[in-house]
Amino acid sequence: MTEPLVEIDGQALTIEDICQVARHACAFLLGDAPAFIERINKGAEFIETLLQEEGFVYGVTTGYGDSCTVSIPLENVNELPRHLYTFHGCGLGIHFDAQQTRAIMAVRLNSLAQGFSGVRYQLLQQITQLLHHDILPLIPQEGSVGASGDLTPLSYLAAVLAGERDVLYQSEKMAASAVFAQLQITPLTLKPKEGLAIMNGTAVMTALACLAYQRAAYLAQLATRITSLASIALNGNAYHFDEKLFAVKPHAGQIKVAACIRADLQITFDPPRNDTRLQDRYSLRCAPHVIGVLEDALPWFRQFIENELNSANDNPIIDAENGHVLHGGHFYGGHIAFAMDSMKTAVANLADLLDRQMAQLVDTKFNNGLPANLSGANSRQAMLNHGFKAVQIGVSAWTAEALKLTMPASVFSRSTECHNQDKVSMGTIAARDCLRIIELTEQVAAAMLVAVVQGVELRGNTAGLSAGLRITMAQVRAKIPFLESDRAMEQELRLCLQLIRERHWELYE
């Protein structure tokens, strides 16, 4: 099978392209067509011409932000980029992991490749070289307000391009200068506009948004499959997912979820008139209405994220073709902030849904005849064993933490930088919050998947399951055995969680 190729040449990339680069799941290269190289270099040449003819360009012969009224003598302009990334080297918190860092680098490279940032093709080559060698800047997660872009985190990329600060290389923390020397990579001396071009953009929040999107989309499918299994385990009314029912409230994502559950449950005929289970509790009956919100939101999340991904988002914009320097605010991360604040709420609702399903499964007052806590112990050992009692407590804790984090970050704008940045997006904080909520929801889903498979087996009607449900049951049992006697579940839950993040479980087309 041919390895997929992601080429950065100014053409539009997708969320999937960035995620493949982040996971080392594709071949990756920088376009080298003469027209592309010429278009990139033309911006840098235009900056040089302006310096020679006019001697004034924001961020080149001036200070940054509120310091734009401070003039920099021409003999000092080459020192300014180093000062920019140096004084922004104040990030704190844990570092972005390897996948996140590769995504950040690919997103920034793609933005610069649009040709409106006034950088040399050589700079794009340097970022590409780092990606090829997997030399990853150690970037602290905390310190960006999302306008003027992701300045502080991206300063770590700028510094590493110049051979400064620390990197992750071959799983070890090393000085960038030492790695460059080992691999005979020449540090890049940034040209006057290049420090600003690297740092003054939305690459961090957009990269995190790409990763969040893929994980959220998979969680929507996983929650759908879990709901199908829960309906069987709880002896639920399958006709809550009837096609005619959903035709009268035609949200496309909601209809999709109901159709998937309907196929899982093999419902192909009208409900019998003597059905005594008229209405299940909301966490079963309304599952398509909960999961469907995320499914319906995914297309516009994609639109927001991919528009940002394929944009020039620094300041000023360099239109070398028409000889303009355009001062604006494209570094503002409002669209990503809104998408991430919205996504985290939709995903947290999945955690809440699965938490409620788990509560039904373990409680004999609501589980329609299953053993307490889904215990698989025989009658002689039943009084000693507690089944999924503690797992359900964990699910409740993870859900509570996810729900707590849903407060929108974008409404907490702060005035910074001497009131020059007096309205900021908080997009990077929103994206980090979203990833944490996704992480917690994956934990809930991992626990619920193991529990609901046990519930279906305890119900004892596995022979008639649909093909999709049989595959899921078999995949889970291949990794995690039936819980008969009490055992510590941590490592099995961690394995299930890892398999979720690797999208191991086969779900829907």
By annotation, the residues acting in catalysis are 58
Q: How far apart are CA 257 and CA 214, in angstroms?
A: 17
Query: CA 187, 189, 191: angle at the middle one, nearest 5?
Result: 150
Q: Shortest CA distance to 16 belongs to which of 115, 96, 106, 98?
A: 106
The amino acid occupying position 256 is K
Torsion of CA 172, 175, 177, 182, to 10 degrees: -30
Mapping DSSP to helix (H, G, I), strand (E, B) and coil, where does residue 135 land? Answer: coil
Helix/strand/coil percentages in the chain, nearest 5:
55, 5, 35
**Are the C-beta atoms of residues 464 and 493 closer than 8 Å to each other?**
no
Q: How far apart are CA 180 and CA 439, in angstroms?
A: 35
Kind of pairing, strands 166-169 and 27-30?
unpaired
Query: CA 42, 47, 52: angle at the middle one, nearest 5?
Result: 120
Q: Shortest CA distance to 55 belongs to which of 40, 76, 39, 38?
A: 76
Q: How many CB atoms lie within 10 A of CB 305?
A: 27
Which residue in the block uniquely carries the two structure tokens 């990030």? 91
Range list of H helices, 63-184: 80-87, 98-112, 121-133, 151-161, 176-183
Q: How many CB atoms lie within 10 A of CB 466?
A: 15
